[in-house]
Structure 1
Amino acid sequence: MFAPQGPTFRELAVQALSSVERGYDLLAPTFDHTPFRTPDAILTPVSRALQGMGPFNSGLDLCCGTGAGTDVLRQVCRERVTGVDLSAGMLAQARAHERPAAGAPHTAWVRADARALPFGPVFDLVVSFGAFGHFLPGERPGLFAQVHSVLRPGGRFVFPIGAPARPGSPGYWALLAFDTAMRVRNALWRPRFVMYYRTFRLADVRTELARAGFDVQLHALPELGRRPDGSPRCRLVVATLPSRQRSAVATGHLAEHAPGPTEAP
């Protein structure tokens, strides 16, 4: 599960008993050698899909970690990209891994809480990979409002979301066990470490994005395969800020553009 260069069991235990910020500061030097980093198998098809939607001028990688998603932005943005994260340790690793190339967009790294972004409406594209489990369901409306506030009219908020594990499958029980253990840990220990895999439900997320003022579409990522019922294993959520702002009622229409049958998360 972990590469030899990854963290030891003791290091993971110390991280798990820390706050989210401190935990990722500790994990940062070995993070890219863990399964927690978004794999290239997901990043590549997302990049390909974004190239079909762009080009974009400026992009923001929300909760950028060590910069894997920021590399995707460099492929589709012409002027500048920004990575924002709460962990100074993760940002330090992102800076260390950066390899400036001629003609590449300018890259900036900013330490900030995603729930209080220090930007105006200056981005054409916001992406995020694997970070939403760090936000409790009650925090999502505020998070989506923050993303809304930093996008220009017509800008897009894009992220992949995997199909839920089938009830009774090994993946289902593994995620349930992890979330249960995390809830017990947070009930008994402070500071809390918020990371839940089963709270980011597609149906809820679509509704909350629409309420935040986005037009929401889903696109299948065919490179990641299909489930036995024909539905995609992974979809790309594309939430667009209308060029002319409309009311939440007017933006409540949601379109499903992923081929094949849909499933309830």
Structure 2
Amino acid sequence: MSTPQGPTLRELAVQALSSIERGYDLLAPKFDLTPYRTPDRVLDAVTRALRPLGPFDSGLDVCCGTGAGVSVLRQVCGERVTGVDFSAGMLAVGRSALAGQDGPAAGPAVGWVRADALALPFARAFDVALSLGAFGHFLPRERPALFAQVYASLRPGGRFVFPVGAPPPVGSKAYWSFLGFDGAMRVRNALWRPTFVMYYRTFPLRDVLDDLAGAGFTAGLLPLPELGSRPDGSPRARLVVAGRES
């Protein structure tokens, strides 16, 4: 599950039995050594797809964790990038990793804000918002409120972007892995408090696009060809590009 320097099985178990916030505070120092960090090839593919949509002045990494999305936004934004997360531990790691790198020579200035994504403290402040790998922490009923908060944080003409993977084929190893993980999490949350919301099968693209439209976005899809194709030739991953028109 991780490199030899990553979290031990005991540390992962303690995290899984904590709240989401406390769990990520505990995991933060070793998070980038786990498979949960967004892989570099995904970051590179998102950057290449996002660059032609810019340039942007300001960017927001929603549920930024240790700042993988911040690294993408720094390549496409000219003035400032902000990472927002509710885990103080994850923000501290991200801030430390970029310590001394802010300033004109290193790209846009970077700020870190601790806040709940369901109550973002911004209003028409950003040209682009990005989120990577965080949507499993929100129940489907919370998704409309999340998208509404991002919408309110963007300036007119702003874009909300995030990658989505094609669902694994029924019966594949990934299919059973995701199904088993979600089942185990549902049992855990039925028997243990505080809950730890993290599911892989609660973000179907059709429902997501409907919720984006309900929040006021106009959404489209861009293929991420660097991440490969399915047997039928369709892309394994796409970038959702949702625009705020006014």
Question: Same fold per TM (> 0.5)?
Answer: yes
Which structure has more RCO (C-alpha within 8 Å, separation ≥ 6)?
A: 2
For 2:179, which of 176, 180, 188 is the aligned residue?
A: 176
Q: Does 1:115 align with 2:127?
A: no
- Which residue does 2:231 correspond to in 1? 228
Q: How many Å apart are 1:103 and its aligned residue?
A: 4.9
The aligned residue for residue 80 of structure 2 is 80
Distance 1:107 1:211 in 2: 31
Q: Runs of 5+ in structure 2 lacking a partner?
A: none
Q: Structure 2-normalised TM-score?
A: 0.97
Aligned length: 243
Q: Which residue of 1 aligns with 2:8?
A: 8
Greater share of helix residues, 1 or 2?
Answer: 2
- Partner residue, 1:195: 198
User: What one-letter code is carried by the residue in structure 2 that aligns with 1:232?
Assistant: P
State the match for 1:132 in structure 2.
135
Q: Aligned-pair distance for 1:89?
A: 0.2
Q: Flag as ranges the 4+ runs of structure 1 deviating above 3 A.
A: none
Distance 1:49 1:179 in 2: 30
Partner of 2:161: 158
* Aligned equivalents of 2:45, 2:191: Cα separation in 1: 40
CA distance, structure 1, for counterparts of residue 244 and residue 181 of structure 2: 35
**1:162-202 deviation digits (Å, cap 9, x = unpaired):** 00011100000000000000000000000000000000110
Equivalent in the alignment of 2:19: 19
Unpaired segments of 5 or more residues in structure 1? 245-265
The 1-side partners of 2:189 and 2:119 are apart by: 24
Output the CA distance in 2 between the equivalents of 1:224 and 1:103: 28
Q: Quick one: which of 100, 103, 112 aligns to 2:102?
A: 100
Report how far residue 120 of structure 1 moved: 1.1
TM-score (norm: length of structure 1):
0.91
Q: Which moved more, 1:103-112 or 1:135-144?
A: 103-112
Of the candidates 233, 241, 244, which is equivalent to residue 241 of structure 1? 244
Letter of the aligned partner of 1:92 in structure 2? A
- Report percent identity of matched pairs: 69
Structure-1 residue corresponding to 2:55: 55
C-alpha separation in 1, matches of 2:224 and 2:231: 16
Instruction: Please state whether the residue corresponding to 1:216 is helix, strand or coil.
Output: strand
Q: Distance in 2 between matches of 1:11 and 1:100?
A: 33
CA distance in 2, matches of 1:96, 1:103: 15
Amino acid at match of 1:106: A
Asked if residue 40 in structure 1 is aligned to residue 40 in structure 2, the reply is: yes
